Amino acid sequence: MLRWRRFSGRAVLWVGSMVIAVGTACYPGVIEGVGELDLVVTAYDPAASFGSLTSYVMPDTIIRVDAAGTDLPPASDLDQQVLDAVATEFAALGYTRLAPSSLTAPDVVVVLTVNVDELPRWTDPFWWGYWDWFEGWSRWSPSWDTGWTPRYPWAGKYAGVRSPGTLQITMIASGQTPTEARVIPAIWAGTIDGLFTGTEASVVSRFQSLIRQAFDQSPYL
């Protein structure tokens, strides 16, 4: 009995020590610091039928948002180059771009935002305050007005903060019947962390390849 007690006691200690030693090594060497990396994050709604989407409308503006969620005036003509790069990618996928004044409803609306301050989340609950001026909503959608918010099916999968200057490209199924009350169906988002930081030359040298990467890693589009 004494021998068994000694055996079992040491065995428990031994197993416990092993578990602690392995457990403390679970996430070694975590990177510290924000904004030092170019990071491209894409997420989508697996239930969306991307194969049936052929047309889109994209407002010719990139909305800038501060930490309080207030939209700010557009920045330099660099914005237009970024919008053109996004349009090029959609064209390469075979999408037809419709004018915002189109009477025909597009399959999706693509909107671009940049947070000028750090945001404590990856899924931006932006909506009406940024895009209420856009003329298409009343024609194509179920009148998404104040009180509607986008639903990101992937929310909760990504934790962290968005660096200042992060560009988010969001694809919204404009004509989709809402499945939940006052919920706008976001079906894809491409987020480029910290794109609009540094000098303009730095942005120019990076944005095309990073936008292309967002589409390259989204083969379902």
Partner 1 sequence: MTKCGRVILALLMWGGSVSAVSAQRAGRWTLHTQYSTVLPMSDETREFAGGFSWRGGTIDIARGATDHVTIGASFGWHVLSEENTGTSVFPDGAISGRALRHVNSVPLMVTGTLALGSRDGIQPWFGVGGGTVWIESRTESGALAAEDVKWHRGAMGEVGLRIPRESGATITLSARYQRAFETNGLEREYMTFSVGSLLGG
Binding site for partner 1 (CB under 8 A): 3-4, 7, 10-11, 14-15, 17-19, 21-46, 122, 153-154, 157-163, 193-194, 213, 217-218
Task: Please state the closest distance from residue 8 (CB atom) to partner 1, in A.
Answer: 9
When the beta carbons of 25 and 68 are compared against partner 1, the nearer one is 25
Task: Give 9: exposed, middle or buried? Use CB within 10 Å, 0-12, 13-18, 19+.
Answer: exposed
Task: Give the helix/strand (H/E) hosting 150.
Answer: strand 149-151
Which residue type occupies 218? Answer: S
Task: Please state the closest distance from residue 41 (CB atom) to partner 1, in A.
Answer: 5
Task: Please state the closest distance from residue 86 (CB atom) to partner 1, in A.
Answer: 17
Task: Give the helix/strand (H/E) hosting 11.
Answer: helix 2-23
When the beta carbons of 46 and 73 are compared against partner 1, the nearer one is 46
Beta strands 96-97; 166-173: pairing state: unpaired
Task: Give me the helix-helix angle, 78-92 and 200-216, nearest 10°.
Answer: 20
Q: Give the tokens for residue 73.
A: 């005036």
Task: Please state the closest distance from residue 148 (CB atom) to partner 1, in A.
Answer: 23
When the beta carbons of 6 and 182 are compared against partner 1, the nearer one is 6
When the beta carbons of 55 and 176 are compared against partner 1, the nearer one is 176
